[in-house]
Amino acid sequence: MLYNFNADEVFQMAIMIEENGKIFYEKAQDKIDNPEVKEMFESLAQAEIQHRECFMALKKKLPPSAQEETVWDPDNEINQYLNMMAGMHVFRPDDDVEGQLGEVKDVEDALKLAIQFEKESIVFFLTIKENTEETQGRDMVDQIIKEELGHHKALSLELIKLKK
């Protein structure tokens, strides 16, 4: 275990991932011609914006204790680590999104890629939960996981429907 994250740090990662997810869903819309899936991706992009705003609001409501360092960090390395972790996550900044979407040949590919991204989000946040101070945010991380599970479910149901 490299770090124990406080709730403030977890929400900062969640905010960055939601921003990257929004970019992915917006760009994915341009790669598909199925109006129903295009609409779903538009809805998911909007959901990412809402989640980001929700996480920002929750972060602002955290008690001061949720922002306390869990390890001594005189060089602010945790913030650099958080940025790297969120940047390496499945929803990456613009350049990687273009490359990943370049592999998308049809609606099924787009849905599978989005499902994989959501699945990795869930795994990412489960891992973060295990490295979060118990008294400072595990329940809040559960809220994030619940949101990601909702995205995964909606995308999976759409893929099943498409295959019928």
The C-alpha atoms of residue 68 and residue 66 are separated, in whole angstroms, by 6
Does residue 156 fall inside a structural domain? yes
Average pLDDT of 80-88? 62
Question: Residue 56 burial by CB count (10 A; 0-12/13-18/19+): exposed, middle or buried?
Answer: middle
- Tell me, what CATH number does 80's domain have? 1.20.1260.10
Does residue 66 fall inside a structural domain? yes
Give residue 163's pLDDT.
Answer: 83
Does residue 2 fall inside a structural domain? no
Neighbours of 73 (CB within 10 A): 13
The C-alpha atoms of residue 24 and residue 125 are separated, in whole angstroms, by 19
Enter the pTM of the model.
0.73
Average pLDDT of 113-119? 88
Least confident of 34-38, 56-60, 132-136: 132-136
pLDDT at 111 over 80: yes
Q: How far is CA 3 from CA 9, 70, 79, in A?
A: 11, 8, 11
The C-alpha atoms of residue 146 and residue 130 are separated, in whole angstroms, by 16
Does residue 27 fall inside a structural domain? yes
Judge whether 4 and 71 are in contact, CB under 8 Å: yes
Judge whether 44 and 114 are in contact, CB under 8 Å: yes
Q: What is the pLDDT of residues 144-164, one digit of tens each?
A: 889 889 999 999 999 999 887
pLDDT category at 138 given cuts 50, 70, 90 is confident
Does residue 47 fall inside a structural domain? yes
Q: Give backbone dihedrals phi and psi of 34, rounded to 5 degrees, phi first.
A: -75, 115
Give residue 59's pLDDT.
Answer: 78
Does residue 59 fall inside a structural domain? yes
Does residue 21 fall inside a structural domain? yes
pLDDT at 30 over 80: yes
Does residue 1 fall inside a structural domain? no
Domain holding 97, by residue range, is 7-163
Q: How many domains does the chain have?
A: 1
Q: What is the pLDDT of residues 86-103, one digit of tens each?
A: 556 555 555 566 777 777
Average pLDDT of 104-131? 83
Give residue 83's pLDDT.
Answer: 61
Give residue 62's pLDDT.
Answer: 73
